[in-house]
Amino acid sequence: MTRLRSSDTPRIVVAVRRFVEKEVRPVAATLDHDDRYPHELVGRMQELGLFGALIPQAYGGLGLDTTTYAMVIEELGRGWMSLTGVINSHTMAALIVLNHGTEEQRRRFLPRLARGEARGGLCLTEPHAGSDVQAIRTVARRQGDTYLLTGTKMFVTNGREGNTFALLARTDPRADPPHIGMSCFIVEKGRPGLQVVKSISKLGYKGVDTAELVFEDFPVPADNLVGGVEGRGFKHVMSGLETGRLNIAARAVGVAQAAFEDAMRRVRAARGKAGAPPAAISDMATRLTAARLLTYWACGMKDRGSRSDLEAGMAKLHASETAQEVAVEAMRIHGDAGTRRTLPVERHYRDTPLMIIGEGTNEIQRLVIARQLLERWGDQPGALTSRAGEPEERKHMVLAVRQLVDKHVIPVAQESERGGRYPAEIVERLGELGILGAIVPAAYGGLGLDLRTFAIIVEELARGWTTIAAIVSAHLAVAHLLARFGKADQRRRLLPALARGDVTGSLAWAQAVTARRAGREWVLNGTVPSVDNAPHSAVFAICARNDRGRALCFLVERSARGARLSPPFETLGARGLDVCQLRLDGVRVPSALVVGDAAAPLGLARLGIAATAVGLAQAAFEAALRYSRERSTFGKPICQHQAIQLKLADMATRITAARLLTYSAAEHAGQHHELAAMAKIYSSETAYDVTLETMRIHGGYGYTTEFPVERYYRDAPRLMLALGGNDTERLELARRLRSERAGSFISRRL
């Protein structure tokens, strides 16, 4: 995404980026192919202080917050993923000491860990115990002031090169449940009884050592029992995995970024040889952007001290799956050349499966996410929509809209939609609440809210009924267009009426409308196939192309001579929206009613569709979550069946990614038009997928009109098909990304 100014980027991130470009990338391929431990690079990481990244300065570390740490890991992952593993295992061990050790243990271990003199690792997995940590068999027997460890640990990163490990063992083998009999120890090499049996050969993740360690009555001082109390080790280790999952998410973003850059270089090199660029780069860019947003959102939650286990799990799940998909697409774009060892594409392809497996396989991760969703939200409304960290004004407005939706929209939506009735009373209430002037400047009678608040309001309305969201979204887009680009007399004449709801506006977008200059006027001809809320709108913002192909935006009143509306269409979904065809036959528009380039209204239209899609997906997800607790089969609620849990986890993760993309597009409206296109594509397809999955979860009941599920499903297609459809959007986005200028915004965080 956008490269941050040096004044905005933490200095350590700038230093790591420079280190990666100058020292890591030139040698990564050789080290990877030779499977050689990168001693010199690790030494440089030590000099940069990265081994103490999350260790407080009081103990000799850098004291970074989680977000900055993730930035560092992303940069390293972009250069060579193996380096992130060296840091991750070490950092997890350090955090166990920091968060759960005694003060004496902190003073004894943390300064050495921060300097990299003590090289940490995590001894957790065993030959028969991977994601199921409670199945470990390594035991620790107390003998005076010493514990004797016996057991085997697998897949220990830094196992050969490291010297200080956080190890989980059973101090009470008879404990039930097993985890209450587990304890964590800081194990230091140098005594008999520990043998590095072998370094494990791997598909990727080369260079960094991954070893099998065997302990036979290995002595560990009792002073190295973390926290000094037995039976707490399972919680200690699990808390460390939360940061480990954020590390996996950040490194996945870094690898995906590298693979995307390789693909874009290939696409640009082929420019002019064979027509349009592959549409796949649009999906690669969109998923990468969503993964980055989701990762830093989860990190931000942790930095604020909020509970973030669910968020870290979703970030890890989405980012790792994204890295896999982007790596595969990069190889497809390269063709046969992508399999050659002379290019880094094959390395990315080998590296990415590890992140699907590491810190808990994604299948297990989905089960954990589902359980956390049910634990936190159950059948309560508002799952995934925490407004923590939002400004108070925004929270109050959103709460008011939510209350209106719950009280006045949801109770009547099903019956009103079935009858295809225009929601006049609800629109009137929205006007009274000020929603129709939400983003109109206060000087013209509006609330003067920003576009992020606009997106949240539209999302909340769509949660109740997408018809309402479409009416408000189109109306506010016209108002915002006037406020930003309209002439002074236009603003004075129209904005107060739009803010009150006395006049309603709508967008009319079509490729086929032409604009011809005729003196001080423009003449519009063509047909807009579908205009939302057309019979109830007094003014349309119409996009048309002049004879040079430039798209301009014109304000046209419904009563204009030559403008004709068809009768409202009967539609699959969003009934009551009164969608009509608008025919323009020689409609004359004064030059004063040209309000600039069409990019701004198009961006707002995309943003409104994306926000509507998020709200629709949210409504469907809440219905699925609620029904999964109420419905039982085979003697238990269906939410306890693994198949349903996997669906709930994927739905929640997709919705969260779509929401973050939409909010980011709102915050950067006017700067990065690509973001609005990404948000529209991703969110609308998420809405379709989630509504279909909700129907699956409801079974036969979801197919009946007694439940709103079938309405959600009917409402979804129009969002994907709007503005020419997502396939057209993908091609246009791919063309923009192919240019160096437009494509560069994907390369760094916004």
| Identified catalytic residue from 74, 329, 346, 359 | 359
Query: C-alpha dihedral over 349, 352, 356, 357, to 10 degrees?
Result: 100
Here the tokens at position 32 are 């990877």
**Alpha helices in 35-148, H assignment, sequence order:** 39-47, 66-79, 81-100, 103-115
User: Strands, DSSP E only, in 439-520?
Assistant: 505-518
Give the Cα separation of 149 and 654 in Å (integer).
Answer: 43
Q: What angle do CA 46, 20, 77 make, to 5 degrees?
A: 90
Question: Do 579 and 568 meet the contact criterion of CB atoms below 8 Å apart?
Answer: yes
528 conformational bin, left if phi > 0, alpha if psi -120 to 50, beta if neither: beta
Residue 403 CB contacts under 8 Å (≥ 6 apart), including other chains = none
Give the Cα separation of 731 and 281 in Å (integer).
Answer: 9
Instruction: Name residue, tokens 């939002």.
Output: 390
User: Positive or negative CA dihedral for 367, 372, 375, 377?
Assistant: negative
Angle between the N-to-C axes of helices 642-667 and 362-376, in degrees from 0 to 180, rounded to the nearest 10? 80
Here the tokens at position 205 are 């993740």
Query: Strands of 580-590's sheet, edge to edge?
Result: 563-565, 580-590, 521-531, 505-518, 539-545, 551-557, 594-597
Strands 521-531 and 563-565: unpaired
276-311 core/surface letters (b: 16 or more CB in 10 A; e: else):
ebbbbbbbbbbbbbbbbbbbbbbbbbbbeeeebbbb
Give yes or no: 359 in active site.
Answer: yes
Residue 391 CB contacts under 8 Å (≥ 6 apart), including other chains = none
DSSP structure class, residue 486 = S
Question: Do 467 and 574 meet the contact criterion of CB atoms below 8 Å apart?
Answer: yes
Residues annotated as part of the active site: 359
